[in-house]
Amino acid sequence: MRASRKGRGAPRKVTKIKKYRKPLNLNIGMLIFAVIFFYVVVCVILYFQTSHIVRYEVKEGSLATDTVYRGVALRDETVVRAETAGYVNYYAREGERVAKNNLVYIVDETGRLNEELENLSLGENSLSDRELMDFRSEIVNFVHGFRPEQYDSTYDFKYSMKNTVLKLANTNMLQSVSDLSGTTGGNIVNYFHAPDTGIVTYWTDGYESLTAQDVTEDLWDDTAYEKKLMMGNSLVAAGDAVYKLATSENWSIVIPVEPDRGAQLQEEGFVKVRFLKNQYESWGETKLLTNGDGNTYLQLSFTNSMVTFATDRFLDVELIVEDETGLKIPKSSIVQKEFFLIPEEYVIPGGNNGGDSIMRQTVLEDGTISSEVLEIEVYYFDDETKEYYLDSSILNSGDNIYKLDSQETFTVSKRATLTGVYNINKGYADFKQITILYENDEYAIVEPNMKYSLSVYDYIVLNAETVKDDQLIRQ
């Protein structure tokens, strides 16, 4: 019992617990992954911060230009108006040439003509070979020139065919009308003849007196254009338009063009034109116009084929121009560079390495004048001025160079700029002069086979802004 009490009264022994630290256990796989990831991130950042040099292989080619235009047709047109009121019937087919004093139409003032003719037997009508050919020609022209976006031309075709049928029928009725007038004891119709020679058409649009200088952009607004057709056996009032006469074979088409393109076409004088309506081709004389609306237009004048398109105010035409062919390069490769101009007699042909050289004047440490030979690269030679274009990094303004086999000197100072690209065939950016024949927004056609210039299959820098002169190019 004592021992038990003594045990409970004794002080307890305190034990300190220390936290166990695990040994550092590096995962070598995760470490390698972290290093690689960091490297990739740095490379991506540097990639987007560095301008990249892309090469382009020079090839032969040509530029396809948009040469299809919609033009407005201008002619010498005279609108003929009715002298009396009544029902009009036509006897000249639309698009047909009539001589002066030929019968064009008659006017029935009383309205009795159709009623009386119904009581007569006119017999069967038949078409001649020429009339059948005219029908076929109209149908073929419509099929070739039809465009779904201009569906309203279908109604013009329908109207033209209907007028042709009426004209053929009226021709057969003409003798019956004469017989009818004799049996009724008086004339029931009035006969009207052409006041002049010309091509007959049966429509008006208000543009009959339009000149090339009056053409504006608003004319191409289809919603504002109205073509009024004249139909046979219709009632007209005195003073109404009954037909038109196109009195001259000289006519023209006016098309909208860009100023630069128009200037090029005007310099050619004449251009071959294909009419998309029937694929007919003709040569048009060119004249550049700047009209009151500030836009540029090109007038194409013709001396033939007016009758073929007498029923059209607007025509789709294609200008057949010879495409420039040569070395095709992107415009982003083109750069301007400045050079010194050196007279021909101061350049020594065939240096130590087979290239050209110059002899530059130098001053030695003791003050004596001497000379040194510098190998040079010629970038261009002007046949007119007889001057070489030398890199400005080789010479300095004010340098004196010697003439070949002479003590006469020339002071370097004159500069000029060349248009060119950077050739990278040799592994560095080497400027090459080019002569541009034609260009559009994306590409330029360069004259081939020029000395000091490019050749087919050369490699050039796609974007000239990404390199500097003589910069090393990593392939």
211 domain-assigned: yes
23 domain-assigned: no
Count the domains in the chain: 2
12 domain-assigned: no
Task: Over range 43-59, report the average pLDDT.
Answer: 78
Q: What is the pLDDT of residue 438?
A: 82
Which residues constitute the domain of residue 347? Answer: 328-466
Summarize pLDDT for 106-126 with one digit per residue, the tens. 888 876 666 655 554 444 555
Is the same domain home to 342 and 257?
no
Beta bridge partners of 378: 390
Residue pair 48/192 in contact (Cβ under 8 Å)? The answer is: no
Is the same domain home to 304 and 371?
no
Is the same domain home to 224 and 256?
yes
Is the same domain home to 111 and 248?
yes
Least confident of 93-102, 153-162, 462-471: 153-162
Is the same domain home to 263 and 115?
yes
197 domain-assigned: yes
473 domain-assigned: no
Is the same domain home to 160 and 291?
yes
* Per-residue pLDDT at 141 exceeds 80: no
270 domain-assigned: yes
Is the same domain home to 400 and 381?
yes
Residue pair 96/200 in contact (Cβ under 8 Å)? The answer is: yes
Least confident of 97-111, 166-180, 354-368, 401-415: 166-180
d(CA 39, CA 239): 91
More confident residue, 348 or 145: 348
Is the same domain home to 351 and 264?
no
Summarize pLDDT for 125-136 with one digit per residue, the tens. 555 666 667 667
* Per-residue pLDDT at 185 exceeds 60: no
Summarize pLDDT for 378-413 with one digit per residue, the tens. 899 998 999 999 988 888 888 899 887 888 889 999
451 domain-assigned: yes
d(CA 391, CA 386): 17
Q: What is the pLDDT of residue 130?
A: 65
Q: Enumerate residues 6+ apart whose C-beta is below 8 A from 459.
A: 55, 56, 57, 58, 423, 424, 425
Is the same domain home to 79 and 206?
yes
* Per-residue pLDDT at 342 exceeds 50: yes
- In single-letter form, the type of residue at position 250 comes to N
- Whole-number average pLDDT of the chain: 81
Task: Over range 79-97, report the average pLDDT.
Answer: 87
Q: What is the pLDDT of residue 109?
A: 80
* Per-residue pLDDT at 72 exceeds 90: yes
Is the same domain home to 342 and 235?
no
Task: Over range 332-359, report the average pLDDT.
Answer: 84
* Per-residue pLDDT at 59 exceeds 80: yes
Q: What is the pLDDT of residue 175?
A: 54
Is the same domain home to 305 and 348?
no
Is the same domain home to 316 and 437?
no
Q: What is the pLDDT of residue 121?
A: 47
- The percentage of the chain sitting over the pLDDT mark of 70, rounded to a whole number, equals 76
Summarize pLDDT for 217-247 with one digit per residue, the tens. 999 988 888 889 888 778 899 999 999 999 9
39 domain-assigned: no
- Provide the strand spans (E) within 364-427: 369-376, 378-382, 387-391, 400-402, 409-411, 415-423
d(CA 239, CA 85): 8
Q: Point out the domain boundary residue: 320, 344, 378.
A: 320
Residue pair 167/92 in contact (Cβ under 8 Å)? The answer is: yes
